[in-house]
A and B are shown apart, each in its own frame.
Chain A
Amino acid sequence: MRKFIFLLSALFVIFFSTQHVNAQISATAETTAKIVSGLQITKEADLNFGSMFSPTGGGGTVTVDVNNQRTATGVQLATVSGEAITAAQFKVTGSPNATFTITFPYTFNVTNTDVANSSMTVDNFTYNVTSPSTLDGSGNLTIKVGATLHVYTNQALGVYKNTSDLKITVAYN
């Protein structure tokens, strides 16, 4: 009987010590997180078609390209001192070399700020980039937007501005 108990006790002791050894084993895992620069876009220049004369017959178009060069068909242009012709310009900043998608504007109207019910269509947007694009090594990219303005016969005199957005949307992809 004593022998048996001893064996039993020994077994029991062995059993317990095994459990204890199992509970000591552990492993570590790494966890990492990278804080990235948020993608941002700010406007740097508006789209300005400048001054032009009301067409007396037929109407036409005035185009500003991404290099701020203005041309016209069927519309006589005017050069006014101090007036700068510019394509719209936006600056995108974010993570260096990151790629991102660009959503471009839709056709919109500019309306007369002095005379009611007078507007002109702006469309045929041109760009210096495509979508998707890549930020440079410093995390920057400049987007330029040109467009075409449709001027109609006897277009009412005055300054015309847009009420709906010439909007650029960007997102990391």
Chain B
Amino acid sequence: MRKTVFLLAGLFVMMLATQQMKAQDVSASATAAANIITPIQISKAADLYFGNIVAGTTPGTVTVSHDGIRTKSDGVTLPTATPGDFHAAEFTVTGLANATYAITLPDDNTVTISGPGEEDMTVTGFTSNPSGTGTLAANGEQTLSVGATLNVGESQAAGTYEGNFSVTVAYN
């Protein structure tokens, strides 16, 4: 009798083990996600103003940095009594929160301003803050400041000179 019971118990354990392997049918799930986002945009908030400049008998330059600091070199004079209105250009960049974007400023010798004189003046050496790449804030915005250097010719004719330049931004 004992022999029979022992054999039966053995069979039972083997059967149980087989059942356990067949019951292993397990699953796991993952989330799929995608984000459709808004295009990047840029709008002008302020122009680039160089202010009042006295031209000299030799060429010179006037620089307004992206921080709005005005300096000069060589033949020009900056009148301290009547400096005029000078400030850096300012753009507002909007788009996807926290996205990075590339900034493209005008190349040298692509921007001129013209006025009463026969000679146009070139605007070169564009700089910006941020420089090269920007990162939009959590609200999807960033202010982009732009400065440059104005190249004043010798005896540049007096008057108001104006021109345009473009700044390009793109998500990167």
Question: Which positions in A face B, CB cutoff 8 Å?
Answer: 26-36, 38-43, 45-54, 62, 78-83, 88-90, 94, 108, 110, 112, 120, 122, 145, 147, 149, 151, 155-162, 165-172
Contact = CB atoms under 8 A, between A and B. Distances in A.
B17 to A, nearest CB: 5
B81 interface: no
B99 to A, nearest CB: 5
Contacts of B7: 29, 31
A81 B135 contact: yes
Nearest to A171: B25
Interface residues of B, number: 36
A23 to B, nearest CB: 11
A94 to B, nearest CB: 8
- Most A-side CB within 10 Å, residue of B22, B25, B33: B33
Interface of B: 3, 6-7, 9-11, 13-14, 16-17, 20-22, 24-39, 96, 98-100, 135, 171-172
Contacts of B3: 26-27
A120 B34 contact: yes
Given A38-B26, A48-B32, A160-B33, 18 more contacts: A30-B10, A31-B13, A33-B17, A40-B26, A46-B31, A47-B33, A50-B34, A51-B35, A51-B36, A54-B37, A79-B99, A80-B98, A88-B32, A108-B32, A110-B33, A161-B32, A167-B29, A170-B27
Contacts of B33: 46-49, 110, 159-162
B10 A168 contact: no
Contact of A81 (B22, B27, B98): B98
Contact of A147 (B26, B29, B32): B32
A171 to B, nearest CB: 4
B17 A169 contact: no
A50 B32 contact: no
